[in-house]
Structure 1
């Protein structure tokens, strides 16, 4: 099905044509159209265009009004203030546009595929081998997964990359500890298959024991560092133990991602070790091209605008003076792989805002080397910190970082209690309550994250997250379930649009907002801004609540009005369902 031209686009096109006619020779006359409380839309661009053309803005606005093609879409247009235009569209246009969206067989609701779709590699959800995932891993996973869904929906080819920490000093430390305490490997990991959570809990104990020895025993530290060299050299025995750590950790990662309702495939996981074979060549290419230079034995890239507290330049260290490779060498090798092998046109890194300087230097180095050209963009979708209710970084009472699995379990437990409490007529079985509780709990955690602009910190408040009131996923999920309940109660009466009907104010507001879905998805994709989609969906649910309160559906005055209001509800529900799916959130049919 062809995409549906939104009412905003239709009105914009008519005003732009009238402006061009009123100002001959003016190219791309933008009326700056916005939704308005005074009318359906307000055009604010005439003042600037009049100033540029040395014309009177009110007179120019009046000329535009005379030239605007009205009738099928525009019902009224009037000049306001110093030269604004207030535009009201016809009820027929609202319903016909929604009807066109509703007939989309692919359930895309008329959302077009982007004309400039390319290939985006998204680097997100970067846990570390042999370490439990904590609250700090939440945002990268949730935001990254939402961007995968949104970009794929707009027609982009998306390659997922989970850049897990599976290399470096800590593995020399771990492997050496196991080598000297062989009983610990089978004791902690077990010979039988254990759950992902148990495997990681055991691995975590191993990590803490080896770290304690590493920090307190200089001789062990020396042996551990030698073991890193063995690992990098590909010593078979060392690699075998390392592989076991990686395999056990993956079982755990998958269990956490499964609880987060995220799809993770094995080929998507390409850790630091995946770029080992490229590191030497990356360094050689940078040095030969003059992008990197040797400084005090290390291979570095310098930047005029990056200086430390002492005013001296802070370099990006690609290879250390002892010959070891830094994170920069791995990240630059990953860029080479993603651009030249995966043919990416966009690189998106969903990484903590505290890594901003590192990635600015890495991207600039890649540009100087010619690996990022005009045809490839690289962007860090930087995110803020998860805070506790007290506004401080989220910690346990003991001051330790909160385990992600514990946080998700508590969210599910709280949400299940809410679902059970709301089921006053006991229509749901215990199995259904648990299933809905899981969907509501995980949805609550995701939505709280995604409804906040990524670069801002946000407070993790489970009481608020699972509330039925306010800007929460539970509010949206209940709005969806309420519509489904009404559609079921309607029985044989089906949703049917009636463009000939006059709409009430609450119907108009709901219809106009539902029609903006495609534009919101496109904007969220272009700006890497899932919070804009979340805000749109909350507004949609709020407008439906107003509509529900003011416009009786099943008890409307005429059969046509019943069908029309069922239709408005149906389009709203389908938009909520699709929009929430793009955020990675389920919408249960009954709650």
Structure 2
């Protein structure tokens, strides 16, 4: 059930019947204060101004044609022209029963799209660090949400598995006479990479040797290809263990590295030249962007092939988006990568559009995100200034969660303690990040993220366990379909029902905007509404069987919604805390 969509349709019909153009769209939002109803129509001011009509007069005309019989018990007009809609509790109760009768939690059908979500993108030959956290978990949450709605989602882990650094590594492994790659760990590989980079920068002969290996690799040399594949495998095997540990849905089949597009490069260069988009300039191949002027007033030139024949990152991204449109048939492509890459991405997309590689119907969206900061507002690092490895961050989260659980229950079995601590610890890190607007920086705070109060994962997980406890005491299976009709007899039950019925519109907004923090805010609000309901309505002590059954149904739907919502964020629930 999507109340927002339902009311939008009703208001639109009333506007048409009032003589307004079908192009006029109502602006409907959830009311922020109870005295303004449940939903508010606030588009009359702008429409009235355009039409030369008083907003209040226009609102009256629309209200006369508005049919909300048995849906709203009151619709009022307040100055300067707002329509406040107070929904009928009985109608809300019927919608609750409808949602409970479905397996989809009331999610309404969507127009299915093929959506590519580009996220995580770790460095090859380096361990993942906290800088990879946001891309990985925000992208994964969006992939889950879009898939849940019914879209065909293609996860793309765009790794840098091609280029000069592999020539350096292969040359250095040869120099060190290292042949047994099976014993090389990712930590070893990171050390070898640093040493290879130092040698490349300091030793001219080694640098020449490394460049020769790059050429061999690009030309398909069997030995170089074998070593290259093993080096990539060492990195991605370790990263996969982290993905699994964090409950991230990326798998080896989602890897789409830069190497995937290398065979496309020569044809793209030729095609851009034939279309007069690319020209030779100072021995390089350059595309001059339309209407992109530099400070000197000249057109901005983007190099796509250097004079030595090497391709650039822009060339790779042109090939990448061409592949996603022509081979994967994407309708929409979401990029969860650093905000500093925006200009680079925009330039690649513009060239690809000019070349006709991207249909006009395809949406390309760079969903940028801010940084994780410490309490001093500085980038989150160790005391020595090193970037914190992601595995170390997860270890500390689990240690802290273990102490939190033991503070509440000293007698919990070790196996159960370990499982609960992992779920709470890792869930807390993920939720703390996802609950912040992705476009902003945020302060990393251990004490807040593991708190049982406020907008945190433990608070929502605890609300879920509360419902489980109710059903255990009542000796009722949470998955059992409860009989009877729902009755909403007091304000806490009405507010809880309304919150439950906003799940669909929340998910749709997150999917449209690419903002998981909207779902977090919803889950926090739902958990808070349930807490108020739980404290006011004595569920198990209620004597009236019909009312008790209604309370149980609201609690049941709360549990299912909280569990589903956390699952869409990649966070598990626990049976008890």
Root-mean-square deviation (CA, aligned residues, Å) is 2.2
Counterpart of 1:24 in 2: which secondary structure? coil
Contact kept in structure 2, 1:123 and 1:349, CA below 8 Å: yes
Contact kept in structure 2, 1:62 and 1:79, CA below 8 Å: yes
Instruction: Choose from 117, 124, 128 the match for 1:129.
Output: 124
Relative to structure 1, is the Cα distance of residues 398 and 315 closer, same or farther in structure 2, using a 3 angstrom cutoff?
Answer: farther
Match of 2:101 in 1: 103
Report which stretch shifted further, 439-448 or 498-507. 498-507
Instruction: Choose from 159, 164, 171 the match for 1:176.
Output: 171
Match of 2:420 in 1: 436
Contact kept in structure 1, 2:93 and 2:487, CA below 8 Å: no
> Is residue 256 of structure 2 the alignment partner of residue 270 of structure 1?
yes
Compute the displacement of 1:365 (Å): 0.5
Looking at structure 2, the residues matched to 492 and 407 of structure 1 have their Cα atoms a distance apart, in angstroms, of 39
Report which stretch shifted further, 547-556 or 476-485. 547-556
Looking at structure 1, the residues matched to 538 and 243 of structure 2 have their Cα atoms a distance apart, in angstroms, of 42
Match of 2:14 in 1: 18
TM-score by length of 1: 0.92
Looking at structure 2, the residues matched to 498 and 65 of structure 1 have their Cα atoms a distance apart, in angstroms, of 35
Contact kept in structure 2, 1:7 and 1:97, CA below 8 Å: no
Query: 1:495-545 CA deviation, whole Å, 9 max, x = no partner?
Result: 857657342112111111111111111111122222221221111112112
Structure 1: 5+ residue stretches without partners: 192-197
Relative to structure 1, is the Cα distance of residues 68 and 241 closer, same or farther in structure 2, using a 3 angstrom cutoff?
Answer: closer
Match of 1:195 in 2: none
> Is residue 392 of structure 2 the alignment partner of residue 396 of structure 1?
no
Compute the displacement of 1:362 (Å): 0.5
Looking at structure 1, the residues matched to 297 and 48 of structure 2 have their Cα atoms a distance apart, in angstroms, of 49
> Is residue 3 of structure 2 the alignment partner of residue 7 of structure 1?
yes
Looking at structure 1, the residues matched to 251 and 3 of structure 2 have their Cα atoms a distance apart, in angstroms, of 40
Matches within 5 A, 1:120-519: 120-182=115-177, 184-186=178-180, 189-191=181-183, 199-306=185-292, 313-423=299-409, 426=411, 428-492=412-476, 496=482, 501-519=487-505
Looking at structure 2, the residues matched to 85 and 336 of structure 1 have their Cα atoms a distance apart, in angstroms, of 47
Relative to structure 1, is the Cα distance of residues 314 and 404 closer, same or farther in structure 2, using a 3 angstrom cutoff?
Answer: farther
Looking at structure 1, the residues matched to 14 and 86 of structure 2 have their Cα atoms a distance apart, in angstroms, of 16
Compute the displacement of 1:63 (Å): 4.3
Compute the displacement of 1:314 (Å): 4.3
Contact kept in structure 1, 2:486 and 2:549, CA below 8 Å: no
> Is residue 32 of structure 2 the alignment partner of residue 32 of structure 1?
no
Contact kept in structure 2, 1:520 and 1:532, CA below 8 Å: yes
Relative to structure 1, is the Cα distance of residues 63 and 228 closer, same or farther in structure 2, using a 3 angstrom cutoff?
Answer: closer
Counterpart of 1:302 in 2: which secondary structure? strand
Looking at structure 2, the residues matched to 123 and 201 of structure 1 have their Cα atoms a distance apart, in angstroms, of 26
Looking at structure 1, the residues matched to 221 and 499 of structure 2 have their Cα atoms a distance apart, in angstroms, of 62
Match of 1:89 in 2: 87
Looking at structure 2, the residues matched to 51 and 532 of structure 1 have their Cα atoms a distance apart, in angstroms, of 32
Report which stretch shifted further, 361-370 or 203-212. 203-212
Counterpart of 1:389 in 2: which secondary structure? coil
Counterpart of 2:248 in 1: which secondary structure? coil
Match of 1:42 in 2: 40
Looking at structure 2, the residues matched to 281 and 543 of structure 1 have their Cα atoms a distance apart, in angstroms, of 59
Contact kept in structure 2, 1:33 and 1:41, CA below 8 Å: yes
Relative to structure 1, is the Cα distance of residues 11 and 235 closer, same or farther in structure 2, using a 3 angstrom cutoff?
Answer: closer
Relative to structure 1, is the Cα distance of residues 138 and 492 closer, same or farther in structure 2, using a 3 angstrom cutoff?
Answer: closer
TM-score by length of 2: 0.94
Match of 2:576 in 1: 590
Contact kept in structure 2, 1:164 and 1:271, CA below 8 Å: yes
Compute the displacement of 1:272 (Å): 1.1
Looking at structure 1, the residues matched to 166 and 287 of structure 2 have their Cα atoms a distance apart, in angstroms, of 28
Counterpart of 1:86 in 2: which secondary structure? strand
Looking at structure 2, the residues matched to 66 and 349 of structure 1 have their Cα atoms a distance apart, in angstroms, of 46
Contact kept in structure 1, 2:331 and 2:362, CA below 8 Å: yes
Counterpart of 2:209 in 1: which secondary structure? helix
Compute the displacement of 1:122 (Å): 1.6
Looking at structure 1, the residues matched to 56 and 362 of structure 2 have their Cα atoms a distance apart, in angstroms, of 45
Looking at structure 1, the residues matched to 358 and 188 of structure 2 have their Cα atoms a distance apart, in angstroms, of 42
Query: 1:295-329 CA deviation, whole Å, 9 max, x = no partner?
Result: 11111122255456666554322111111111112
Looking at structure 1, the residues matched to 422 and 294 of structure 2 have their Cα atoms a distance apart, in angstroms, of 47
Compute the displacement of 1:258 (Å): 1.2
Compute the displacement of 1:60 (Å): 4.0
Contact kept in structure 2, 1:495 and 1:564, CA below 8 Å: no
Looking at structure 2, the residues matched to 497 and 93 of structure 1 have their Cα atoms a distance apart, in angstroms, of 18
Looking at structure 2, the residues matched to 544 and 578 of structure 1 have their Cα atoms a distance apart, in angstroms, of 16
Compute the displacement of 1:99 (Å): 1.0
Number of residue equivalences = 572
Instruction: Choose from 514, 522, 545 the match for 1:559.
Output: 545
Counterpart of 1:315 in 2: which secondary structure? strand
Counterpart of 2:289 in 1: which secondary structure? coil
Structure 2: 5+ residue stretches without partners: none
